[in-house]
Amino acid sequence: MQRVNVNGVELFKSAFSLPEQTALRDDLRAIARAAPMFSPVTRWGKPMSVRMTSAGKYGWYSDRRGYRYIDRHPSGGDWPPIPESILKIWSDYSEADRMPDCCLINHYTEGAKMGLHQDCDEADFSWPVVSVSLGDEALFRVGGSERSDPTQSVWLASGDVVVIGGAARLAFHGIDRIKFGSSRLLEGGGRINITLRVVDA
Ligand code: MD3
Ligand code: FE
């Protein structure tokens, strides 16, 4: 495993073997069966190109009223629990002494991207965020705490872990594009990213 620092964000390349990635993929598939993926609508009324669902106490949601965490799937059902396999990743990488409230699952198909943004819908930015990438490679961009700060770009591959803490927690970041079809982990191609977050104070 190779460790790289990108503007204060810690990237662990190839943290997971192919069998481990396959098992995680299957755990995420089970979550998406219980809590189907949907396309959140931005506050400007435009559906995002990334499809999402969540597990845990809260799921991330957006519509014309804004970005927020909600305690039920938009269809009304409970969010499924975060699987043990994923809680173990948090324990192994976060160095935090509490468990996450949300496992957000982002699904990128051909052409999907995520514009430069800050993650600031959580109550306490002193908790880190831990992310795992699966499937197709993605061009990840990370800057500083001001939108105008210079950015660095790096490709995220299947099995990579990103840990965001300290000053980098409020860094602007986004996904410029994916290399569609670069991995065979997901049937039909595409990319899945999970982010583990503490939401409550
Ligand atoms: C850097 N997801 O869901 S994960 C998001 O690949 C999100 O789907 C991206 O940004 C994705 O909000 C990037 C890595 C990540 C997550 C949170 C961060 C990087 C971050 C917070 C601050 C700085
Ligand atoms: Fe983000």
Pocket lining: 134 vs ligand 1, CB cutoff 6 Å: no
For residue 64, the model assigns a pLDDT of 96
DSSP codes joined into one string, 76-122: SPBPPPPPHHHHHHHHHHS--SS--SEEEEEEE-TT--EEEE----S
pLDDT tens profile 13-39: 999 999 999 999 999 999 999 999 999
Say what the pLDDT of residue 27 is: 98
Please spell the DSSP secondary structure of the chain, one letter per residue: -EEEEETTEEEEET-S-HHHHHHHHHHHHHHHHHS--B-PBPTTS-B-SSEEEEEES-EEEEETTEEEEESB-TTSPBPPPPPHHHHHHHHHHS--SS--SEEEEEEE-TT--EEEE----SS-TTS-EEEEEEES-EEEEE--SSTTS--EEEEE-TT-EEEE-GGGGG--EEEEEE-TTS-SSSTTS-EEEEEEE----
**Which ligand gives the minimal distance to the CA of 144?**
1
173 CA from centroid of ligand 2 (Å): 6
Which superfamily is assigned to 2-197 in CATH? Answer: Alpha-ketoglutarate-dependent dioxygenase AlkB-like (2.60.120.590)
The pLDDT, as a whole number, for residue 176 is 98
* Nearest ligand to the CA atom of 171: 1
Domain ranges for the chain, please list them: 2-197
Ligand 2 midpoint to CA 30 (Å): 23
pLDDT on residue 69:
98
Burial class of residue 156, CB neighbours in 10 A (0-12, 13-18, 19+)? buried
* Ligand 1 atom closest to Cα of residue 138: 6
Q: Quick one: which ligand is closest to 105's CA?
A: 1
Nearest CA to ligand 1 atom 8: 193
Nearest CA owner, ligand 1 atom 13: 174
Give the Cα-Cα-Cα angle 9, 10, 12 (nearest 5 degrees): 145
Give residue 192's pLDDT band: very low, low, confident or very high (50, 70, 90): very high
Mean pLDDT, residues 114-124: 98
**pTM reported for the whole predicted model:** 0.98
pLDDT recorded at residue 21: 98
Residue 158 confidence (pLDDT): 98
